[in-house]
Amino acid sequence: MLAWGQDTVTDIDGNIYEIVQIGDQLWMAENLKVTHYNDGTEIPTGYSDNDWAGLSTGAYAVYGDNESNADTYGYLYNWYAVDDDRGVCPASWHVPTDGEYTALSDYLGGTSVAGGKLKECTEGSCPESEYWYSPNTGATNESGFTGLPGG
């Protein structure tokens, strides 16, 4: 894990991500948008929905098959890319484990309230926001995580 006090991390493609501290954990406050594994190998993309469903190797896609969504939502990775030993996260980072998600949720007050504290919200308590609409209300982003509904 990175040293405390850093506020950004950079992936192999040069994308810079904001970091937020929640409890005793550090989280990227933006969705991943890397196109290469950490060894420099390109992660394949461009598959049809049918081909994607049948893949047994790593790949990524963009939300809604609309490349303009990548800046906002990052990319979507299949399990094979996420689980690949070459790594998709910036050096010294990893995809969170179930236990790490549970610790995050517990720190924020449990599953019934953690979601709202993680969701993007531009001002205070947002009944609706630029990205979250009913029934996904109650966003406060108290955590600074700025979660987006992109996949």
Q: Where are the domains of the chain?
A: 8-95, 97-151
The model's pLDDT over 110-149, given as tens digits with 9 standing for 90+, comes to: 999 998 888 887 665 565 667 777 777 677 888 988 888 8
The model's pLDDT over 15-73, given as tens digits with 9 standing for 90+, comes to: 999 999 999 999 999 899 999 999 999 999 999 999 999 999 999 999 888 899 998 89
Mapped to the 3 state alphabet, what secondary structure does the chain carry?
Answer: CCCCCCCEEECCCCCEEEEEEECCEEEECCCCCCCECCCCCECCCCCCHHHHHCCCCCCEEEHHHCHHHHHHHCEEECHHHHCCCCCCCCCCCCCCCHHHHHHHHHHCCCHHHHHHHHECCCCCCECCCCCCCCCCCCECCCCCCCECCCC
- Please confirm whether the linkage preceding 135 is cis (ω < 30° from 0): yes
